[in-house]
Amino acid sequence: MVAAAVGGAALALGQAGQPTIMVTATATPTTVPEVSASAPVAQPEPPVDGAIPLPAYAASAIPWDEVGPGWFFLTYDPDTTDNEIVDMGASIYDEGRWTEPKNDVSMTLISPAGDVYYAGSLSDQGTARARLWTGQTLYLFRATKLNYESTYDGVVTALDLASGIGTKVRSGTGYYLHELTIGGRLVGDRSNDGGLEAMVSYRPDGSGERTFATLGVACSELAPDEHTMVCFESRADDRTDVVTYDVDTGTRKVIDVFKRSPWEYWLLGWWSPSSIVFSRYDATTQGQVFLAYDITTKKVTETHPTLPDGSTAALVKGLGRYRVLYSGDYRAAYVYDTNGDLRATLPCGAAAVSGDYALSLCGTIGNPDTVTITVVDLVSGESHDVGTYTAGIHDDVAPFPYRGHSAVYWYTNLIFP
């Protein structure tokens, strides 16, 4: 069986199911990355020992000048049995000594056309774990000390995937790397012995630290305009400031105040070019209520994201120009654009969106268990079968979209339907 990485945890397995993909194409014109004329002509090589078990082109064949929106980055660990604490971002503390167990994680790139490239191993990176992928650079975080009252000490490294050279970006007391960027700047927590102080951003070389948000904050990813971010920030009166940030200038603007604490909301992403979607707990129904908030009109509207079969989505997630809706049992993911048009139906919830492409990982329980990876063009409707591999019982795979973090978020059976 296989597990998908969810913040360092593993997902449970579900029942058998054959992966199928239905795609709904629209006539909406969108720029689609072209497949390079210089795509590799040699045959893929057999899988490298310890890598994701699919034939792959060598790392030397990766066309780095073409890697961008539509590409996906995968980390793969063939056996995470003994590394559960490490997967949460911390080294293992053993009798007063910090130990660094072997890092078996390998790296793979998948192109929009479904070509697989072996991108190397993290075996020489100690306990560092991938946090953010921006193309040729992979940002890693390695905790050097972990206080379970939320204080991290750690090291941030920028790994050049083409050369394999890692450069220390930042290290120190009370620092933790988040899984997002703001206008090309990295984001992290700054903390002290009393707990978290603030969220800060800084340049990729570690310089120019700037505080941009206070405690009790939850932030969206960038809006479809790639300039705006919305955050829910705590107030002294236990209410929530709704704040917009211009990620290019750092300009902060409070646009509204919600009556509840930010801890009662779950900010899920962009619902349309001008609105976000979030949820809150309803004590009456003992379930989540989905709410759309228009940052222009300041209007909150209860929304009922409906799936093609008429049922209400269990969860939604805004990802760039697309939003993904999940069925009640999380056994299907529906990809819509922000105009509300259905672009693809994926058979499993393990879905990532990069540019105008979606990647699906779907498992079938059998003898042996297998995982099928597929790339879907959300504009033309064309799909590319990347391949199917035999899954080990403790395998751990995590997909990253271009300029993003691991795209699997929830503790549920997303890969095996």
CA–CA distance, 7 with 91 (Å, rounded to integer): 15
More confident residue, 351 or 34: 351
The pLDDT mean for the chain works out to 74
Q: What is the pLDDT of residue 197?
A: 60
Q: Could you tell me the pTM of the whole model?
A: 0.76
Of the pLDDT bands very low, low, confident and very high (cuts 50, 70, 90), residue 20 is: very low
Q: Report CA torsion sign: 227, 230, 233, 239.
A: positive
**Predicted confidence (pLDDT) at residue 201 exceeds the cutoff of 70:** yes
Mean pLDDT of 18-39: 45
The torsion defined by the Cα of 10, 14, 18 and 22, in degrees rounded to 10, comes to -70
SS (HEC) of 168-181: EEEEECCEEEEEEE
Q: What is the pLDDT of residue 29?
A: 43
Backbone angles phi, psi at 65, to 5 degrees: -70, -10
CB 70, CB 354: distance < 8 Å? yes
Distance of alpha carbon 189 from alpha carbon 149, whole angstroms: 13
153 versus 322: the higher-pLDDT residue is: 322
Q: Which of 79-83, 311-315, 364-368, 399-403 has the lowest mean pLDDT?
A: 79-83
**Mean of pLDDT values over 322-331:** 79
pLDDT of the residue at 378: 94
How do the domains of the chain map onto residue ranges? 2-13+28-33+45-401
DSSP calls for 215-237: SSEEE----TTSSEEEEEEE-TT
Side-chain half-sphere exposure of 142, counting CA atoms within 13 A: 23
139 has pLDDT over 80: yes
Question: How confident is the model over 160-187, as pLDDT tens digits?
Answer: 999 999 988 877 666 666 655 655 677 7
On the question of pLDDT at 319 being above 50, the answer is yes
Confidence of residue 198 (pLDDT cuts 50, 70, 90): low
What pLDDT score was predicted for residue 107?
A: 94
The answer on pLDDT for 191 being more than 70 is no
Indicate whether 192 pLDDT > 80: no
pLDDT in tens, 217-264: 677 776 777 678 788 888 888 888 998 877 667 678 899 999 888 778
User: Angle 54-102-172 (CA atoms, 0-180°, nearest 5)?
Assistant: 115
The mean per-residue pLDDT over the stretch 308-313 comes to: 81
- Would the pLDDT of 386 be above 90? yes
How far is residue 359's CA from residue 110's CA, in Å, rounded to a whole number? 9
The secondary structure of 272-304, three-state, reads ECCEEEEEEEECCCCEEEEEEEECCCCEEEECC
Distances (CA, A) of 234 to 175, 179, 217, 300: 21, 21, 6, 19
Top-confidence residue, 289 or 192: 289
Rounded Cα distance between 115 and 94, Å, is 42
For 66, phi then psi, to 5°, come to -105, -15
238: left (phi over 0), alpha (psi -120 to 50) or beta: left
Prior bond of 29 cis (ω within 30°): no
Rounded to the nearest angstrom, the gap between the alpha carbon of residue 81 and the centroid of all alpha carbons in its chain is 23
Query: What pLDDT score does 247 carry?
Result: 66
Residue 400's pLDDT is what? 85
Q: CATH says 2-13+28-33+45-401 is which class?
A: mainly beta
